[in-house]
Amino acid sequence: QLQLVESGGGLVQTGDSLKLSCAASGRTSSRYTMAWFRQAPGKERELVAASGFTTGNTYYGTSVKGRFTISRDNARNTVYLQMATLKPEDTAIYYCAASNGDSAMASLFPGLTYDYWGQGTQVTVSS
């Protein structure tokens, strides 16, 4: 069983940067498509970024493209989300997730089944 633990959230100001970490245990994260989701109060959960494990494809949500970067350190069994130029609308709980699936088309990553989830980390961006 794959366990995921997020860290790195906090309170920052508009324009700041923040790096989230997702430490995997139990199994190696290199065998999964790894993703970051977020959910703001009163809004649906959305896929922010994902990294395919066989294709190497990456997906970014429209609202974060060009500002967020997902990366993997397989030696540390850790996935990161580097967030730059943060905006108040980025305020949300950020969740790390893993899927057994992958896709040759990154646009299909939102449709994958994500079987494993972390507990989430809060990111708050003040204006």
Q: What is the mean pLDDT of the chain?
A: 95
Longest dimension (CA), the chain: 40
Give the pLDDT score at 19: 98
Q: Which two tokens stand for residue 79?
A: 């996935």
Main-chain dihedrals φ then ψ at residue 71, nearest 5 degrees:
-145, 160
pLDDT at residue 45 tops 90: yes
Structure confidence at residue 56 as a pLDDT band (50, 70, 90): confident
Give the pLDDT score at 64: 98
The percent of residues above 90 in pLDDT, for the chain, comes to 84
Structure confidence at residue 21 as a pLDDT band (50, 70, 90): very high
| CB-CB contact of 99 with 114 (8 Å) | yes
Distance CA 31, CA 25 (A): 12
